[in-house]
């Protein structure tokens, strides 16, 4: 095969699927998306119908294939939303709608699993605290609350692995998605027998684990007809969307930190050993790379809940700017205000907070607000507050040994020069905005090419990622932001008891 071979990446997201067609040289030929709904049959429930995933995948793939005049596809790679649960019966029919990661029904089961296994033992084994929406908690919920349905179950899959089964008829998972179930032994990169014993879960109900870049099967005739492709195309095992996003961003080295500013904020730090936080403030998951020299086989992830969400709240609820140029005006207003936002601090805890506080009671605060603070100060304070929250999350990664030499900034925040400068000045390292789009689907494409031997996965991920000009930190502003960050932390600590009491 040559650089003109075509590779198809499919990313099953939370609300839509993205299909990307690229050449083996990394040139995007076509891309398409198709949406599907989130279902909320009861308060706290979040479900989806797998058949709607399949319909959307068919629509998106047919669109990119039509746009490229039906080229021969060399391989298909997969990426998908993490943590969710698809249950199949003996006839390989779904027992219930898929329960996906935002689902909140299993709070009692989360507490029971953590108490039974022991929090520190759980963190050491699975690399993370268990949360609602994670497969381990969802399985226990079905066992406790829907035993008749659970009795029918013969296979448990995460969303991406359900899609691959529809494509190939083969059951499998990979370490990155296996890790996100919280049924996994991170160090062994396979199912944890103590966790399975705790849940009275038969090993035969879970798919075999294999590398993310391994060929998992070939496209069946039935699946080929649904997608408008030829039967027999190799389908690669694939990886979780966060792991694929890191590949697509070129964040495969331990000296590179991926920060995503979208609705929430994520920090992904590649690591070459299993290093967990025994206080449960971050997640440590397997990456899409196999461990080895120069291969970061795991990543640590911190998450904040309100990033772009906080800026959108300010736009809609406070400023009332609804025109198409609202964000440009907000950037200009923030840029006109000096670093430090005229003494104004903002805690971006609009919906509680995860890393590092794991505090659902945390609430937002504008601290130091006076008559002199105008719109620009408010906008800048929100941008700085979100950045401080990211830096607070990074403090946990740093405790565990992270020493990022540069930041790859992705998401909507990467398009703001003001936000990039605030990020560089706060962290004290250069920030490179990611210009690559649809990086999770691109990660799936990379796995497709590596899986059939067209290129090396890690080096090609670095070569394909595209960045804008680096934003360099200013030492004086870095010193100022260190002081402001200490004040930011202090506001939360002084008000934590009040938050909890309300």
Give which of 438, 370, 369, 452 is closest to 410, Cα–Cα: 438
Torsion sign (Cα): 478, 482, 485, 487:
negative
Entry field: residues in the chain: 502
Q: Is 393 within a domain?
A: yes
Same domain for 271 and 394? yes
Average pLDDT of the residues in 121-145: 95
Instruction: Judge whether 273 and 402 are in contact, CB under 8 Å.
Output: no
Distance CA 167, CA 221 (A): 9
Q: Is 300 within a domain?
A: yes
- pTM of this structure: 0.91
Instruction: Write out pLDDT tens, residues 261-318.
Output: 998 899 999 999 998 999 999 999 999 999 988 789 999 999 998 999 999 999 999 9
Same domain for 320 and 418? yes
Q: Is 478 within a domain?
A: no
Which residue would you say has higher pLDDT here, 461 or 3?
Answer: 461
**What confidence tier does 322 reach under pLDDT thresholds 50, 70, 90?**
confident
Q: What are phi and psi of 333, to 5 degrees?
A: -65, -40
Tell me: pLDDT of 488 over 60: yes
Same domain for 415 and 290? yes
Same domain for 465 and 423? no
**What confidence tier does 174 reach under pLDDT thresholds 50, 70, 90?**
very high
Q: At 309, which helix (H) or strand (E)?
A: helix 308-313
Distance CA 226, CA 233 (A): 14
What pLDDT score was predicted for residue 167? 98
Same domain for 270 and 396? yes
Domain boundary among 433, 463, 482: 433
Tell me: pLDDT of 227 over 70: yes
Q: Which domain holds residue 189?
A: 83-157+175-209
Instruction: Write out pLDDT tens, residues 62-90.
Output: 999 999 998 999 999 999 999 999 999 99
Cis-peptide, bond into residue 356, ω within 30° of zero: yes
Same domain for 150 and 117? yes
Distance CA 130, CA 29 (A): 40
Q: Is 203 within a domain?
A: yes
Average pLDDT of the residues in 370-397: 97
What pLDDT score was predicted for residue 116? 95
Distance CA 356, CA 389 (A): 9
Instruction: Write out pLDDT tens, residues 96-114.
Output: 999 999 898 999 999 999 9
- Which neighbouring-strand residues pair with 352? 350
Same domain for 95 and 229? no
Domain boundary among 404, 433, 462: 433
What pLDDT score was predicted for residue 426? 98
Average pLDDT of the residues in 219-238: 97
Determine whether 241 is an active site residue.
yes
Give which of 298, 219, 268, 240 is closest to 79, Cα–Cα: 240
Q: Over pLDDT 70: what percentage of the chain?
A: 99
Long-range CB contacts (< 8 A, 24+ apart) of 191-198? Answer: 192/125, 192/126, 194/117, 194/125, 195/117, 195/125, 195/126, 195/136, 198/113, 198/116, 198/117
Give which of 249, 242, 246 is closest to 283, Cα–Cα: 242
Same domain for 290 and 421? yes
Q: Is 165 within a domain?
A: no
Q: Is 185 within a domain?
A: yes
Max CA separation in the chain (angstroms): 69
What pLDDT score was predicted for residue 403? 86
Q: Is 55 within a domain?
A: yes
Give the residue ranges of DSSP H helices in 410-451: 417-427, 439-451
Q: Is 137 within a domain?
A: yes
Query: What single DSSP character describes residue 207?
Result: P
CATH code for position 403: 3.30.420.40
Distance CA 444, CA 463 (A): 15
Same domain for 135 and 267? no
Average pLDDT of the residues in 126-138: 94
**What confidence tier does 3 reach under pLDDT thresholds 50, 70, 90?**
low
Average pLDDT of the residues in 209-220: 97
Pick the catalytic residue: 161, 185, 241, 392? Answer: 241
Instruction: Write out pLDDT tens, residues 389-441.
Output: 999 999 999 999 988 899 999 998 999 999 999 999 999 999 999 998 889 99
Query: What is the rounded average pLDDT for all residues in the chain?
Result: 95
Same domain for 330 and 402? yes
Instruction: Judge whether 79 and 238 are in contact, CB under 8 Å.
Output: yes
Number of domains, the chain: 3
383 Cβ contact partners less than 8 Å away, ≥ 6 residues apart: 311, 334, 416, 418, 419, 422
Tell me: pLDDT of 1 over 60: no
Same domain for 314 and 350? yes
What pLDDT score was predicted for residue 247? 96
157 Cβ contact partners less than 8 Å away, ≥ 6 residues apart: 85, 86, 88, 165, 171, 173, 207
Instruction: Judge whether 220 and 262 are in contact, CB under 8 Å.
Output: no
Same domain for 366 and 354? yes
Alpha carbon dihedral 190, 273, 14, 250, in 10-degree steps, equals -130
């Amino acid at each position: 095969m040559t650089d003109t071979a075509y590779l198809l990446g499919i990313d099953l997201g939370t609300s839509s699927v993205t299909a990307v067609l690229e050449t083996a040289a990394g040139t995007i030929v076509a891309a398409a998306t198709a949406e599907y709904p989130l279902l909320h049959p009861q308060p706290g429930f979040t479900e989806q119908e797998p058949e709607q995933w399949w319909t959307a995948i068919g629509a998106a793939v047919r669109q990119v294939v039509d746009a490229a005049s039906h080229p021969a596809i060399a391989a298909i790679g997969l990426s998908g939303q993490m943590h969710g649960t698809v249950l199949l019966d003996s006839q390989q029919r779904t027992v219930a709608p898929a329960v996906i990661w935002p689902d909140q029904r299993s709070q009692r089961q989360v507490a029971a699993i953590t108490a039974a296994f022991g929090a520190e033992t759980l963190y050491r084994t699975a690399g993370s605290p268990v949360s609602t929406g994670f497969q381990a908690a969802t399985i226990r919920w079905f066992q406790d609350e829907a035993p008749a349905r659970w009795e029918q179950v013969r296979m448990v899959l995460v969303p991406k692995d359900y899609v691959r089964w529809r494509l190939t008829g083969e059951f499998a998972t990979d370490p990155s998605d296996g890790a996100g179930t919280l049924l996994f032994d991170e160090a062994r990169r396979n199912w944890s027998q103590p966790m399975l014993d705790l849940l009275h879960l038969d090993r035969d109900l879970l798919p075999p684990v294999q590398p993310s870049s391994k060929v998992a099967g070939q496209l069946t005739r039935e699946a080929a007809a649904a997608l408008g492709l030829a039967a027999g195309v190799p389908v690669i095992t694939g990886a979780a969307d966060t792991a694929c996003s890191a590949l697509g961003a070129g964040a495969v080295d331990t000296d590179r930190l991926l920060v995503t500013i979208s609705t929430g904020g994520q920090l992904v730090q590649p690591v070459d050993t299993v290093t967990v936080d025994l206080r449960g403030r971050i997640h440590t998951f397997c990456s899409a790379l196999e461990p080895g020299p120069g291969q970061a086989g795991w990543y640590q992830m911190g998450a904040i809940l309100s990033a772009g969400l906080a800026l959108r709240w300010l736009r809609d609820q406070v400023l009332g700017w609804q025109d198409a140029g609202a964000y440009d005006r907000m950037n200009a207003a923030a840029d006109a205000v000096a670093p430090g936002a005229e003494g104004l601090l903002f805690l971006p805890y609009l919906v509680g907070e995860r890393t590092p506080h794991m505090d659902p009671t945390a609430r937002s605060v504008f601290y130091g607000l006076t008559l002199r603070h105008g719109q620009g100060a408010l906008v800048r304070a929100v941008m700085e507050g979100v950045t401080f929250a990211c830096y607070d999350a990074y403090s946990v990664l740093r405790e565990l040994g992270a020493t990022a030499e540069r930041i790859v900034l992705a998401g909507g925040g990467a398009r703001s020069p003001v936000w990039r400068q605030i990020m560089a000045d706060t962290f004290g390292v250069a920030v490179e905005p990611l210009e690559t789009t649809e990086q999770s689907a691109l990660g799936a494409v990379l796995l497709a090419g590596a899986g059939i031997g067209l290129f090396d996965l890690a080096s090609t991920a670095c070569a394909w990622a595209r960045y804008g000009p680096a934003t360099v930190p200013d030492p004086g502003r870095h010193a100022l932001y260190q002081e402001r960050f200490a004040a930011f932390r202090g506001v939360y600590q002084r008000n934590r008891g009040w938050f909890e009491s309300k």
